[in-house]
Amino acid sequence: MSAFIQNNDMAGLKRYFTTEVMPARVTLNRQSGLSDLSRLDMPTVSGLIYAKYEAANGQNVHLVVTILEKVTLADIPQIKVVRILGNLLDNATDAAARANHQVTLTVKNRDAHTTVFSITNQIPTHEAVDLSVIKKSRFTTKPGHLGYGLSSIEQLTTDQLVVNYCIEEGNFIAELVIKH
């Protein structure tokens, strides 16, 4: 698709999207259990979730996505949402690969002006998570990683995009709260 955009071929991009992407998306969503993505009215975020679903499968992790109601996210900084959500899903998938191999993503409207993306994964056995240090630069629980993930999320947060973390019954829960 980027080639169509680089060549400013909008007619070709529309044709490709209509004939290739949309039919494949409908079929894959039905087959993969991602039919709930049709309730999320933000193509950049839906595309990210689909890509992370596929990446999780590649790590033998099952990503369960639940969106029970129509979610519309207008007038929000999409690139920040994609970067934050992508990082949170990557972290959850990496941890789940060392635990029970399952991540849940629940998207819901808290009220008319607030949407919450909640990501839950089991904390791997013999790993401790200290909520007071996880946001610090260079902190990591993953061997060979630099530890910039959660600290970079902190740099992306605003009054409109808030990230909360908690631990409940051996599960790590990250919430992206979007005020719109």
- With pLDDT > 90 as the criterion, what percentage of the chain qualifies? 57
User: Rounded CA gap, 118 and 162, in Å?
Assistant: 12
Check pLDDT > 60 for residue 143: no
The DSSP line for 27-42 is HHHHHHT-GGGGGEE-
The string of pLDDT tens digits covering residues 96-138 is 999 999 999 999 999 999 999 999 999 999 888 887 777 565 5
**What integer pLDDT is reported at residue 148 of this predicted model?**
47
**What integer pLDDT is reported at residue 132 of this predicted model?**
78
* Helix (H) / strand (E) containing 15: helix 10-16
The string of pLDDT tens digits covering residues 155-180 is 899 999 999 999 999 999 999 999 99
Provide mean pLDDT across the span 144-162. Answer: 76
| Look-up of token digits 């605003």 | 158
Provide mean pLDDT across the span 36-53. Answer: 92
Check pLDDT > 80 for residue 31: no
Residue closest to 89 by CA, chosen among 115, 67, 127, 57 = 57
In the chain, DSSP finds a helix count (H) and a strand count (E) of 6, 7
Check pLDDT > 80 for residue 4: no
DSSP 63: E
CA atoms in the 13 A half-sphere facing the CB of 54: 9
Burial, 138: exposed, middle or buried (Cβ in 10 Å; 0-12, 13-18, 19+)? exposed
Torsion of CA 29, 163, 60, 133, to 10 degrees: 180
pLDDT band at residue 32 under the 50/70/90 scheme: low
